[in-house]
């Protein structure tokens, strides 16, 4: 039957419900601040929100969102192709283009639609998309929709990228290469200097998804390509507003004039309502703060490095490098579920990631840090992982 394929997932959800554990879709009943909330009836430190600069509660962002809602209403009720292009959308696009020093930018309603839509549109039948094996689901989805030939290279392996481009021969010059700045599961950064060198040698078009590196790396928060000094090798910067900018939405910035034609060829742009004015206004405010206040980035990295070192010193297996995403790897799913619940009971909310969503065979207790976390909160997170149950679960 049509719905039989969902029976295994239904069984997993039933088992979790019977155990009183709800790690997927845990309900936030009240937000107290950018770093605290009431989740499942408990007051917790939020250590799994991707709110990297802590701007979701910034009073400047909130005030601009409130003013925009009063001025423009609650929604656009239409796509950008119809009635949904407001002056605020154009202003945000101009500000994003200015951030990257590029002439062209376009804004999407979500980050998922930005990466999916562009991958599905830029390449087509007869073309090649060559993507990092650990790419986000939105990238895989767009590549599948494109009808292009889809090839993967080993995660963060420029030598494997080079090998596959070499095998493509003349086709390499028109290949769309897709990588991320920071990968969302383990928090590792792409070797963009080496990837850019390969791209320059063989040709192709390089797309960098800066979803988790916007605001986190680079001058004025421009991202991983800027931090690596290879922004000039990037053909398409894509990203989201739902991490460092504390809102929702996505974007693409590019040096190519063809982006304006791409705009009117991308279904994920054409056939969805545009972002609400309040969201655009808060995003613009957050973008300006990100560019003007580098101390937020420095604070984020201080928190990230302290948490990474603290968890590593407990004997836990952590990701390959410190960063705004700090993951603890656990071999056993049931142990991970129990450890997640123990952390929640201790007042710490983190993300639980289990195969096949995790990039390895392990389950992850995934933390994401914020510039808004206090020293005391970082200490509490480390102490919670030192709990005998959670600690014993993670020691490999």
Residue range of the domain that includes 94: 73-292
Q: Give yes or no: residues 22 and 132 share one domain.
A: no
Q: Give yes or no: residues 240 and 373 share one domain.
A: no
CB 232 within 8 A of CB 93: no
pLDDT digits (tens, 9 = 90+) for 264-320: 999 999 999 999 999 999 999 999 999 999 999 999 999 999 999 999 999 999 999
Structural domain contains residue 65: no
pLDDT digits (tens, 9 = 90+) for 97-114: 999 999 999 999 999 999
Helices (H), the chain: 7-18, 59-72, 87-100, 111-122, 137-146, 158-168, 192-202, 224-227, 259-263, 267-270, 277-292, 295-313, 333-345, 375-385, 388-394
Lowest mean pLDDT among 39-43, 337-341, 385-389: 385-389
Q: Give yes or no: residues 341 and 280 share one domain.
A: no
pLDDT digits (tens, 9 = 90+) for 341-357: 999 999 999 999 988 88
Structural domain contains residue 209: yes
* Percent of all residues in the chain with a pLDDT value above 70, rounded to a whole number: 98
Residues forming the active site: 184, 212, 243
Q: Mean of the pLDDT values across residues 230-244?
A: 98
Q: How far is it, in rounded angstroms, from Cα 227 to Cα 2?
A: 48
Domain total in the chain: 2
Average pLDDT, the chain: 94
Structural domain contains residue 62: no
Last residue of a domain, one of 234, 264, 292: 292
State the pLDDT at residue 22.
78
CA neighbor of 68 nearest in space, from 76, 58, 78, 56 = 76
pLDDT digits (tens, 9 = 90+) for 47-98: 999 999 999 999 999 999 999 999 999 999 999 999 999 999 999 999 999 9
pLDDT digits (tens, 9 = 90+) for 153-187: 999 999 999 999 999 999 999 999 999 999 999 99
- What pTM was estimated for this model as a whole? 0.95
Q: Give yes or no: residues 219 and 204 share one domain.
A: yes
Q: How far is it, in rounded angstroms, from Cα 210 to Cα 23?
A: 27
Q: Give yes or no: residues 189 and 166 share one domain.
A: yes
Tokens of 175: 């290949």
Q: Give yes or no: residues 192 and 272 share one domain.
A: yes
Q: Give yes or no: residues 263 and 360 share one domain.
A: no
Structural domain contains residue 63: no
Q: How far is it, in rounded angstroms, from Cα 85 to Cα 273?
A: 10
Tokens of 66: 């409130």
State the pLDDT at residue 17.
78
CB neighbours of 313 closer than 8 A, spacing ≥ 6? none
CB 192 within 8 A of CB 208: yes
Q: Of residues 356 and 195, which shows the higher confidence score?
A: 195
Structural domain contains residue 166: yes
Q: Give yes or no: residues 112 and 171 share one domain.
A: yes
State the pLDDT at residue 387.
76
Q: Give yes or no: residues 147 and 243 share one domain.
A: yes
Last residue of a domain, one of 259, 274, 292: 292
Q: Mean of the pLDDT values across residues 364-382?
A: 97
Sorting pLDDT into bands at 50, 70 and 90, what band is 330?
Answer: very high
Q: Give yes or no: residues 100 and 182 share one domain.
A: yes
Last residue of a domain, one of 252, 271, 292: 292
Structural domain contains residue 64: no
Q: Give yes or no: residues 206 and 316 share one domain.
A: no
Structural domain contains residue 67: no
Sorting pLDDT into bands at 50, 70 and 90, what band is 12?
Answer: confident
Q: Which domain CATH number covers 179?
A: 3.40.640.10
State the pLDDT at residue 388.
54
Q: Give yes or no: residues 30 and 147 share one domain.
A: no
DSSP lists the bridge partners of residue 131 as 152, 178
Sorting pLDDT into bands at 50, 70 and 90, what band is 396?
Answer: very low
Structural domain contains residue 66: no
Signed CA dihedral, 224, 230, 232, 233: sign only: negative
């Amino acid at each position: 039957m049509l719905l039989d394929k969902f029976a295994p997932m239904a069984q997993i959800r039933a088992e979790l419900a019977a155990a009183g554990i709800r790690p997927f879709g845990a309900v936030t009943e009240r937000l107290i601040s950018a770093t605290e909330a009431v989740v499942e009836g408990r007051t917790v430190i939020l250590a799994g929100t991707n709110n990297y600069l802590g701007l979701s509660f910034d009073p400047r962002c909130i005030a601009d969102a409130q003013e925009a809602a009063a001025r423009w209403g609650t929604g656009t009720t239409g796509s950008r192709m119809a009635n949904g292009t407001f002056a605020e959308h154009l202003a945000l696009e101009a500000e994003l283009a200015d951030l990257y020093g590029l002439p062209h930018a376009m804004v999407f309603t979500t980050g998922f639609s930005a990466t999916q839509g562009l991958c599905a549109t830029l390449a087509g039948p007869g073309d090649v998309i060559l993507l990092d094996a650990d790419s986000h689901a939105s990238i895989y989805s767009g590549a599948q929709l494109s009808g292009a030939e889809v090839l993967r290279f080993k995660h963060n392996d420029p030598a494997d990228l080079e090998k596959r481009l070499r095998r493509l021969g003349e086709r390499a010059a028109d290949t769309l290469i897709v990588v991320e700045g920071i990968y969302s599961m383990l928090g590792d950064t792409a070797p963009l200097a080496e990837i850019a060198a390969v791209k320059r040698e063989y040709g192709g078009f390089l797309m960098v998804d800066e979803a988790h590196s916007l605001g986190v790396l680079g001058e004025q928060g421009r991202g991983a390509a800027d931090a690596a000094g290879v922004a000039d090798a990037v053909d398409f910067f894509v990203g989201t507003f739902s991490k460092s900018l504390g809102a929702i939405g996505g974007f693409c910035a590019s040096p190519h004039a063809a982006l304006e034609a791409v705009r009117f060829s991308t279904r994920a742009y054409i056939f969805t309502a545009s972002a609400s004015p309040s969201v655009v206004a808060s995003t613009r405010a957050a973008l300006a703060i990100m560019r003007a206040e580098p101390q937020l980035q420095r604070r984020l990295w201080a928190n990230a490095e302290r948490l990474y070192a603290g968890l590593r010193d407990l004997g836990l297996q952590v990701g390959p490098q410190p960063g705004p995403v700090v993951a603890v790897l656990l071999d056993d799913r049931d142990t991970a579920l129990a450890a997640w619940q123990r952390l929640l009971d201790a007042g710490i909310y983190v993300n639980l990631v289990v195969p096949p969503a995790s990039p390895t065979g392990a389950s992850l207790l995934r933390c994401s840090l914020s510039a808004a976390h206090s020293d005391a909160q970082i200490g509490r997170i480390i102490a919670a992982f030192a709990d005998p149950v959670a600690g014993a679960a993670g020691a490999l």
